[in-house]
Structure 1
């Protein structure tokens, strides 16, 4: 069997993954963001996460230069946020939807985050591994915001086969 990029992409579409919005701010304070399903925990000691970012994404130079990210893990009720954060032609509308907050992070930087997300993780980039079309950013976790009970009772947003799916608790 020959391995091809389209074949791998199709195979990975059949693996369920949690959807997150990755956010940051550039040096001028402008918010940037993207939808991502390539986010994983790396270690609990030190607390760290890995985010894969396409090097052509608008947020890529921002993350690289500022070294700060916020990962907003979405609930099913926030599915409407995927489209603006996935399409470059909707870039100017990304932060117009939902109730975004600004959080002090590290020094004086403020990162946009979603209080209604299932979980929010703030991190500082510790290591970058360029690989092919993407860079893998490993961030040390500096802060975690856990949701209210009301939010945790809502289903997480899971993506499979190019569309959202629901999970049920046993």
Structure 2
């Protein structure tokens, strides 16, 4: 009798394509950031988002201490930036072009969009933290496509047509 091997939780969730962001902030040592796929809008009124940094993240506590962060939504040509910001123990900003957002946070160049946020709430969430960000400022670049992550690989969107949602 053969028993069917069930896929792992991680394998199943890998079938859901997600956008890729880099969450940035500053502390007394300078700019800090990390790659974060766990990002979503939460509310239109008031404008809020959620990010879910891992509990083992060494970057998030440094950002959280400042009470503000910037979510950089990566464009389809920025897979290398995602990989850089996912690598611990390196100077992540060394070879990455960035400017300051209106509130002074690191905003990466050539992204699809960015959101400056104030930390509104932080809740436990298993092996992650659930961070609710109140959106203070935002911006987007027209005609860019997002970087996606699907089944362990980066992907871009092809055939993307812009039309209003219903």
What's the TM-score once normalised by structure 1's chain length? 0.84
Q: Which aligned pairs between 1:83-162 and structure 2 lie closer than 5 A?
A: 83-89=83-89, 91-92=90-91, 94-105=92-103, 110-147=104-141, 152-162=142-152
1:29, CA displacement in angstroms? 4.7
SS in 2 for 1:155: coil
- The worse-fitting range, judged by mean Cα deviation, of 79-88 and 96-105 is 96-105
d(CA) in 2 for partners of 1:48 and 1:29?
A: 28
Match of 2:71 in 1: 71
Q: Are 2:18 and 2:37, in contact at CA under 8 Å, matched by a contact in 1?
A: yes
Q: Which has the higher helix share?
A: 1
1:41, CA displacement in angstroms? 0.3
Q: Are 1:122 and 1:141, in contact at CA under 8 Å, matched by a contact in 2?
A: yes
Match of 1:14 in 2: 15
1:156, CA displacement in angstroms? 1.2
Match of 2:35 in 1: 35
Q: Are 1:53 and 1:135, in contact at CA under 8 Å, matched by a contact in 2?
A: yes
Could you tell me which runs of 5 or more consecutive residues in structure 2 were left unpaired when the two chains were aligned: 1-5, 162-166
Could you tell me which runs of 5 or more consecutive residues in structure 1 were left unpaired when the two chains were aligned: none
Dislocated runs of 4+, deviation >3 Å: none
User: Rg: which structure is higher?
Assistant: 2
d(CA) in 2 for partners of 1:104 and 1:169?
A: 30
The superposition leaves residues 85-131 of structure 1 with CA deviations (integer Å, 9 ceiling, x where unpaired) of 11114x31x112332001241xxxx2110231100001001011112
Over aligned residues, Cα RMSD in angstroms?
1.7
Match of 2:164 in 1: none
Match of 1:54 in 2: 54
Change (3 A) 1:145 1:29: farther
